[in-house]
Structure 1
Amino acid sequence: MKTKRHGAVVGLIAAGALLLTACGSDNNAGTGGTSSAAASGTAVECGGKAKLNAEGSSAQKNAIDTFIQAYKAKCSGADLAYNPSGSGSGVKNFNAGQVDFAGSDSALSKDKGEVEAAAKRCATGPAWHLPLVFGPVALGYKLEGVKDLVLNGEVTAKIFNGTVKKWNAPEIKALNSGATLPDKDIKVVYRSDEAGTTDNFQKYLKIASKGAWTQGDGKQFKGGVGEGKEKSAGVAQAAGSVDGAITYVELSFAQDNKLSIAKIDAGQGAVELTNETVGKAIDGAKLKGEGNDLVLDLDSIYGTTASGAYPLLLATYEIVCSKGYDADTAKAIRAFLTVAATDGQAGLVDAGYAPLPKAFQDKVLAAIKAIA
């Protein structure tokens, strides 16, 4: 697990509504089912299945590592194995009953039959989406001599669909007055595996590009240009090794590979990816799911023109059965997710994520309690 991050993340969402209360350190709850108080005052009923299995989003891998550490500290003898195979693979294997829950950076698709397949897998109730992590997505690039770059939704779309091919193209120059931009080819790096990060990025482009992105969205990249690499680590490593490269990737991976990060101009001036700008964007998130199915409507974030809001984010979900687990599995899942939504959130800043906003934390805990 990563334990330290670049200064842009240290202190991320460090005040206000996005902070969780300080977490407790008691570690006296064993797998026999003894209760202990979590950071929010919520009781964690440990016990049930000794080792859970989950799979999915590589973007949330570092967050899951943080959650596992908190879970093992809170519930002695408990563990969880997480395979960061990508959101698409995680959803497929959850729906096939091969893992206890899935991690995904986008909601299940009704059009692709994922909602129906999940309900069939759960047998006695629908699947729920529980947003446990918000993560900024960086436009990470490597360009010798250029450390301060501004892009907007329209130009970013044109880069990732091949319309803008050179770093000194007029469209980029117009956003970077006074900057010396090289006459160098832009080398796009994209996720080749199915990824919720790709889905969120393409949804952002569709909304923020003023019609420049016509390729659609989904977990497969549809821009038609560039070089594909698997998983978040793969695209970040590839972009970091080639001068002139650009990719879309979660902030922690951009930092790990020493990529420069573009500012985004959504109409109110260039906005840097910082604690404050991410917090302003998250404040605008709305729910579109019903009841305990906490699907987020992020369109208002992607299309925001609010001053000082960084608009390119993803929400990481844990996709679980609302009903249908055996008693031991349900008990362990409730325990793990309760710890993740409380004590585990305290470690997310250092792992490169934004902790769960308090408004969503209460909703998530209510949904977790209702899992049967």
Structure 2
Amino acid sequence: MCVAQPLFDLFAVTAPGCETSCVAELDALGLPAVAEHGGVAFRGELADIYRANLWLRSASRILVRFAEIRACSFPELFQKSVRLPWGRFLRSQTPLEIRAVCRRSRLMHTGRIAETLTAAISRALGGNREPAGAQGPAQRVLVRFEDDRALISIDSSGELLHRRGYRLEQGAAPLRETLAAALLGEVGWQPHLPLWDPMCGSGTLLIEAAHLACRRAPGLQRTFAFEHWPRFRAGRWQVLRQQAMAAMTHPSALLLHGSELDPDLLAVAGRNAERAGVAEYLALRAGDFRHLSVPTGPGILLCNPPYGQRIGESHNLAAFFAEFGRFLRTRAVGWRGGFLLPDSGLARATGLNLRAGPVFAHGGLSVPLYLFSIS
């Protein structure tokens, strides 16, 4: 007889613009989801928490929405918090990192909120709580106060999920892996199509595409906060990892092309690809893409072109993007795709028939994805 597993209210935190991709990924895992401000809400069992951390490419972290309480004073916050079932997720000696944000609430001192919750957890579980930075990984607890109601969440991920373990070197303004994965979804790239990044930098777009084509779970090379929970099921986690490794494929005709003007940065891309286990699938060339042959296609062109401080303010950016547009119109007929660019004037300078896609957070800026098709 199967025993029903408890369902948890879960939240996949995403960077702005990545929500649609995250909803699609969760749907593919059989977990219906709804986009909300700051991410995607869904429900799942304990094993689904493991699967989401293992497989989601566009999420930044997975939270368990642990409790919601109303508190207008610190004694009330303590009394209500101490009765919560902290033992499901915390051991008595686990170091804590409590982060709080507040809006329109009588309790606005985030430091004292953290101190009150730490005291409540210590009373509930016994033992002396260790602060973040003490020996062993800290368990992050997030508290969001709004209109005197506190939403308390437990982080199941630990380090941010974009830290896949391969990008140990990078150039200026690199794409996060989560953003690269979302961009691939937005342009509709599929493994049977050639992919071309003419300004590939440290190679993140191409590496994420290779992982997607190989069905490589992005969380295979790292550890997670949930592995330290009292009710962690090591056997179930091992089965999920083994299933993920068995699902990996080795495409024989994957066409992933990248070029980079800076040979040192191109070497970084090669080393990142080696660490990611996908170097065999990438065709990397040093040089100015305008002077290189266009890859066999047509296919998808996707890039994060240099702008602003990335290439120096003294450069004539409008001229650069005008030349970029001319290059695509004359040399890349039949290709489609997109590029990130925060300046609509520079986008217009390309002379391409562009459609504005989602707006992403990148490098501290709100950056639209501009989509095009060269006919």
Say whether the fold is shared (TM-score over 0.5). no
**TM-score, scaled relative to structure 2:** 0.24
Larger relative contact order (CA 8 Å, sep ≥ 6): 1
Give the structure with higher Rg (CA). 2
